[in-house]
């Protein structure tokens, strides 16, 4: 072929975010480098394969694109007993049973006056350092007396209800709810 080559690329995989240049024109003997941007959140665990279609005024080609991903899983966590419940404080305890994939980057607790607290509706988010230890704690402060709080891990389905006492800690109430 003589002259220039007009080309165009099409992709159908939702995990390919973009192609740096989806069409163009090349002079005889010239080359063009392309960059594919992949959305790793859309990849399934294992090998992901798709075909890029390149059409031109000199025919068409198919190029196989492969991307490897780890199977995603949420961390496994257990909410343990809330201890040292005092007039305005309580100590939250939890343990990680499975780090998940990809591994978590933050851990802690949320608590609220409403049921099923999340990061969006929490009164407070308590974080604990990420380290090699599977168990961790955090202290809730500034609790109001005689008010029930629901605490939880995010993400999790384990919740615990505590009520800050109106008297010294020896007369506190709490209950566990799952």
Could you say which of 37, 69, 101 is where a domain stops? Answer: 69
- Asked if 168 and 148 touch (Cβ cutoff 8 Å), the reply is no
> Is the pLDDT assigned to residue 56 strictly greater than 90?
yes
Same domain, 25 and 81: no
Could you say which of 20, 37, 69 is where a domain stops? Answer: 69
When divided into structural domains, the chain yields a total of: 2
Euclidean distance between CA atoms 55 and 162, whole angstroms: 65
pLDDT at 71: 81
> Is the pLDDT assigned to residue 143 strictly greater than 60?
yes
Same domain, 13 and 55: yes
Weakest mean pLDDT among 64-73, 75-84, 99-108: 99-108
CA neighbor of 145 nearest in space, from 73, 85, 84, 82: 85
- Asked if 127 and 107 touch (Cβ cutoff 8 Å), the reply is yes
Same domain, 56 and 95: no
pLDDT at 164: 53
């Amino acid at each position: 072929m003589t002259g220039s080559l007009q080309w165009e690329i099409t992709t159908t995989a939702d995990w390919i975010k973009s192609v740096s240049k989806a069409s163009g024109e090349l002079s005889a003997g010239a080359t063009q480098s392309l960059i594919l941007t992949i959305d790793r959140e859309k990849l399934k665990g294992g090998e992901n394969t798709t075909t890029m279609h390149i059409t031109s005024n000199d025919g068409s080609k198919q190029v196989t694109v492969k991307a490897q991903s780890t199977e995603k899983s949420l961390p496994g966590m257990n909410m343990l007993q809330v201890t040292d419940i005092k007039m305005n404080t309580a100590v939250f305890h939890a343990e990680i049973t499975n780090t998940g994939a990809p591994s978590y980057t933050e851990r802690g607790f949320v608590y609220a006056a409403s049921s099923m607290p999340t990061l969006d509706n929490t009164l407070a988010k308590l974080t604990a350092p990420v380290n090699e230890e599977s168990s961790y704690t955090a202290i809730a402060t500034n609790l109001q007396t005689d008010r029930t709080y629901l605490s939880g891990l995010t993400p999790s389905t384990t919740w615990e209800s505590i009520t800050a006492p109106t008297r010294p800690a020896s007369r506190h109430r709490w209950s566990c709810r799952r």
